[in-house]
Amino acid sequence: MRALADFIMRGRAQAIFVVVGAAMVPMLFWLSAAAASLILMRRGLNDALGIIVWALLPAIGWWWFGEPRTLLVLAGTLSLALVLRVRVSWTRVLLASVPLGLMYAVVLSTLFSAPIEAMVAELQKLMPQMLEGIYQQMSAEEQASLHSLMMPVLTGLMAALLQIVTLLCLLLGRYWQAALYNPGGFASEFRAVRLPPVLALALMAVMLLGPSLGAPMAMLAPLCSVPLVFAGVALMHGLVAKGRLGRFWLVGLYVTLVLFMQFIYPLLVVLAIVDSLFDFRGRPSRNNGAGPANGEKS
């Protein structure tokens, strides 16, 4: 992957070839977004704009044919990359991903309401079987309330998935930037990610109370879990780097994320919240020379 990053940064023609070519292939839209974020973070918006415009052309074309992911993820990744370049703070990036995810949800609910409503209708038919015993004991009002929340929650879950993909694209772009210009910078930067207690508790409150506060807040609840999950993953990497956990814990983490996401996902949320209060990694260690991942002095 480092060779690909080196090719992207070799010149304008090579960068355009990668970001446009990847955007034209449906399953490689993430590569286009990661490459574009690398260019923006390293060269700045003014220098990268000419390349980004070319990447937008196939993304807009896919939108026209009913595939919004390419344009949404590309635009979202670039916006978060700009935040990271200006602020050099993953906490701000994770926080900015929440309103970005909300924008995703609004777009999905506005332009793709019919397919989502069809999915909700099928889920409503399966609800008595999925909640066998519990569903039958619910009153008619409780069942109606549950059904009314399904549309915003499902939309929020779909938007949260795009939010996660966007953050992963940015992580890949940042990793490339560090690999080219400051080896080791990305690792130290990501391992230090820790949400402030007030922010972590606020995100948890929206997650827990959102569904009971109406449809808009129910849509927001899944989006607020994403920063906490990324902070939880960063905590695990940080503990392994400090020698407090063995490397097999990371292997187990990613294996269980793939196989048992419904169990490990909430566990990461809880770990991030507890770490924000007690700081398991302790005080930040002294600079080991890696510095910021952008390879420039801050």
- Per the CB < 8 A criterion, the answer to whether 218 and 153 are in contact is yes
- Per the CB < 8 A criterion, the answer to whether 189 and 292 are in contact is yes
Has residue 178 been placed in a domain?
A: no
Mean pLDDT of the 280-293 span: 60
**Predicted pLDDT at 284:** 52
Has residue 150 been placed in a domain?
A: no
DSSP string, 145-212: HHHHHHHHHHHHHHHHHHHHHHHHHHHHHHHHHHHHHSTTHHHHHHHT----HHHHHHHHHHHHHGGG
**Predicted pLDDT at 298:** 41
Share of the chain above pLDDT 90, in %: 62
Q: Per the structure, how many domains does the chain have?
A: 1
Mean pLDDT of the 163-188 span: 94
Query: For residue 51, which of 83, 10, 90 has the smallest C-alpha distance?
Result: 10
**Predicted pLDDT at 80:** 97
Has residue 229 been placed in a domain?
A: no
Has residue 48 been placed in a domain?
A: yes
Has residue 77 been placed in a domain?
A: yes
Mean pLDDT of the 182-196 span: 92
**Predicted pLDDT at 286:** 47
Share of the chain above pLDDT 70, in %: 93
Work out the mean pLDDT of the chain and round it to a whole number: 88
Confidence of residue 292 (pLDDT cuts 50, 70, 90): low
Mean pLDDT of the 64-68 span: 89
Residue range 204-256, pLDDT digits in tens: 999 988 877 877 788 899 999 999 999 999 999 999 998 888 899 999 999 99
**Predicted pLDDT at 95:** 96
- Per the CB < 8 A criterion, the answer to whether 215 and 120 are in contact is no
Domain span holding position 46: 1-87
Has residue 148 been placed in a domain?
A: no
Has residue 244 been placed in a domain?
A: no
For residue 113, pLDDT beyond 50: yes
- Per the CB < 8 A criterion, the answer to whether 31 and 69 are in contact is no
Q: Could you count the other beta carbons within 10 Å of the beta carbon of residue 131?
A: 14
Has residue 44 been placed in a domain?
A: yes
Q: Which residue has the higher pLDDT, 126 or 262?
A: 262
Q: Which residue has the higher pLDDT, 195 or 144?
A: 195
pTM: 0.90
Confidence of residue 115 (pLDDT cuts 50, 70, 90): confident
